[in-house]
Amino acid sequence: MDPQTKFSNNLVNIKKQFEQRCNNHLQKTIETCDYSVARDPQYVCEFAKDIMKHMMDTECNNQPKVKYMDFQENITERMRSILIDWIIEVHF
């Protein structure tokens, strides 16, 4: 085998080993639902768990108050439902 071919084969083997190590690392650190897009940097798979935890915490902290409508002076419950329906229609 000539040196150029041997060198090329070594490069291919090194690349395969590197890819295998990367895949092993990704499988250990990233959820399986994100594994298919793990190499796309726009998906920031490394931070998916942290992002979801933050979103869940934010959602829990920003829930509307149970007696919110009791303190409304200008809008009744019926008016509020009409407004929400109108906003949904405008959105569509």
pLDDT band at 90 (very low <50, low <70, confident <90, very high): very high
What single DSSP character describes residue 76? -
Element (H, E) at 23: helix 3-29
* Type of residue numbered 63: Q
pLDDT tens digit string along 49-89? 788 788 888 887 887 777 777 888 888 888 989 999 999 99
pLDDT band at 16 (very low <50, low <70, confident <90, very high): confident
Domain count, the chain: 1
Q: How remote is the C-alpha of 10 from its chain's centroid?
A: 38
| Mean pLDDT in residue range 25-42 | 67
The pTM for the full model equals: 0.42
Domain containing 46: what range?
3-91
- The predicted structure's pLDDT at residue 91: 93
Instruction: Give 71's contacts (C-beta < 8 A, 6+ positions apart).
Output: none
pLDDT(27) > 70: no
